[in-house]
Structure 1
Amino acid sequence: MRALVLGLALTLAATPALATPVSLVPQPTDEDGVVTLGELFDGAGQAAGVRVAVRTAPTVVLDAAQVQTIARRNGLVWANETGIRRIIVRSGGGAVGTPARTPATATRGAATVEVLTYARSVATGQTIQPEDIVWTTVQSHQAPSDGADDAEAVIGLSARRPLRAGAPVRATDLTRPQVIARGDMVDITYESGGIRLTLRGRALEAATVGEPFRVQNVESGRTIEVVATEPGRALAGPAAQAARTR
């Protein structure tokens, strides 16, 4: 019994029983290039000086799950009840999730405006990561009319063509990542009225998630249209129409 009590006491001591609940700062900012828990959370207390990331550009995008883990390790509990996936920290001002951008059309009289730009050069087919894009202040006449204004929507897309560092992000630059390449072997599922069949086919063209494409049934040689759902997989029949996004 004594050993059981001692073990329980040690377990309680090792759990975050004294962890401090904290809330995310509505508009995280950083002044010196080192992002800390105190700059991200209200009530960080003694953990306020713990470094989370280094900012080398006007903005830095943090993975919310990683921030949550760092906070937990340092005695802070962030519930993240709204399900934030990324935190954007800016120098002198910022926002949670996707930062607001003042459209160039609304600031024609202003000398400068902020636009989303590429932090590095991106090759064709590469996927845009949080660290690949930053908000940059430019002369208002340099802001493109078709510039992307939603950082969250850009992350995870892939480049249609080579993109130059410093260039503004345009909607036409990017597309959803390709999950099926021409010539790939694809597992196809047909579902309808409780019936489920599977077959194998060879992709006759490339496709992204939710995009229809043609495959050739390896057994019958017939060509059918299916919809890509993930790498190497697709749907046929009524279920395919529900999965179709374009």
Structure 2
Amino acid sequence: MKSLILAAVGALSLALAGPALAGPVSLKANPVDHDGQVTLGDIFDGADGAAGVVVGRRVGPSIVFEASQLQAMARQAGLDWANPTGLRRVVVRDAGMAPGGTSAAPAAGAEAPFAAAAPAAVRAAPGQRVISRNDMVQVMYEAGGVRLTITGRAEGNAAEGQPLAVRNLQSNRVIDTVAVGPGQAIAGPAAQSVRAQQFAAR
């Protein structure tokens, strides 16, 4: 009887220790998903048995994860991601966004760069919608050498260069922005400059 109890305890200990014994994984160079359900296998190489674990739902052209949040979700599934390059955010994009079924996201899932216009690889046709209502949007605010980025939810639709209200999910405040590309917008002086140029061109 005692041996049976010890065997059961040993099996339970191994089951609980399983995640801690899992091998390390590495971030994919270009994380993409194909169906809106973002899994650990979409994000990491070496996810193996945890590859099918869903960690988010993409409702727009991209979804942004905080690196610390992603580490925690990976750890819960028994994976160890060390984040050796110190990324703050990881962007996962729709696999069908770019020709050939590959995403135009920056390499290694790094934070998407912001500019007054979208990069040529993902440049939308004039007047074409780049952000839809309820899409998750990365908003950059830069002033006086200080750059801040937040992730919010689009309150409406917008083409590149059009104004867009974005709700900050942490504070629940609505921010006035200008859409600059799929899943990207700018706020503050940069947004005002873009709008001023558009009015001047009319």
Pairwise TM-score range, normalised by the shorter structure: 0.5 to 0.7
Percent identity of paired positions between Structure 1 and Structure 2: 35
Task: Tell me if 1:31 matches 2:34.
Answer: yes
CA distance in 2 between partners of 1:48 and 1:105 (Å): 32
Taking structure 2 as the reference length, what is the TM-score of the superposition? 0.53
Task: Tell me if 1:112 matches 2:125.
Answer: yes
CA distance in 1 between partners of 2:38 and 2:117 (Å): 29
Query: 2:62 corresponds to which residue?
Result: 59
* CA displacement, residues 209-231 of structure 1 (integer Å, 9 cap, x when unaligned): xxxxxxxxxxxxxxxxxxxxxxx
Query: 1:83 corresponds to which residue?
Result: 86
CA distance in 2 between partners of 1:33 and 1:115 (Å): 19
Task: Tell me if 1:49 matches 2:52.
Answer: yes
Kindly state the Cα deviation for residue 90 of structure 1 after the two structures are TM-superposed.
Answer: 1.0
Kindly state the Cα deviation for residue 169 of structure 1 after the two structures are TM-superposed.
Answer: 1.9
Q: Which amino acid aligns with 1:87?
A: V
Q: CA RMSD in A?
A: 4.7
The 8 Å contact of residues 20 and 78 in structure 2, kept in 1 or not, is answered as no
CA distance in 2 between partners of 1:129 and 1:41 (Å): 24
Kindly state the Cα deviation for residue 59 of structure 1 after the two structures are TM-superposed.
Answer: 1.2
Query: 1:131 corresponds to which residue?
Result: 152
Question: Which of these residues, 14, 34, 38, is aligned with residue 16 of structure 2?
Answer: 14
Question: Which of these residues, 161, 186, 191, is aligned with residue 169 of structure 1?
Answer: 186
Structure with the largest fraction of helix = 2
CA distance in 1 between partners of 2:179 and 2:117 (Å): 18
* CA displacement, residues 161-201 of structure 1 (integer Å, 9 cap, x when unaligned): 95268685244278xxxxxxxxxxxxxxxxxxxxxxxxxxx
CA distance in 1 between partners of 2:177 and 2:187 (Å): 12
Gaps of 5+ in 1: 121-126, 145-155, 175-246
Question: Which of these residues, 61, 67, 71, is aligned with residue 68 of structure 1?
Answer: 71
Gaps of 5+ in 2: 96-102, 135-147, 163-169, 192-202
The 8 Å contact of residues 119 and 166 in structure 1, kept in 2 or not, is answered as no
Q: Which amino acid aligns with 1:44?
A: A
Q: Structure 1: which 4+ aligned runs deviate by more than 3 Å?
A: 6-13, 100-107, 110-120, 164-168
CA distance in 2 between partners of 1:35 and 1:54 (Å): 6
Taking structure 1 as the reference length, what is the TM-score of the superposition? 0.45
* CA displacement, residues 68-117 of structure 1 (integer Å, 9 cap, x when unaligned): 1221122211111222221111112123231246864985xx76389996
Query: 2:139 corresponds to which residue?
Result: none
The 8 Å contact of residues 25 and 42 in structure 1, kept in 2 or not, is answered as yes
Which secondary structure does the structure 1 equivalent of 2:21 belong to?
A: coil
Which protein is bigger by CA-based radius of gyration? 1
Which secondary structure does the structure 1 equivalent of 2:32 belong to?
A: coil
CA distance in 2 between partners of 1:28 and 1:38 (Å): 9
CA distance in 2 between partners of 1:56 and 1:79 (Å): 28
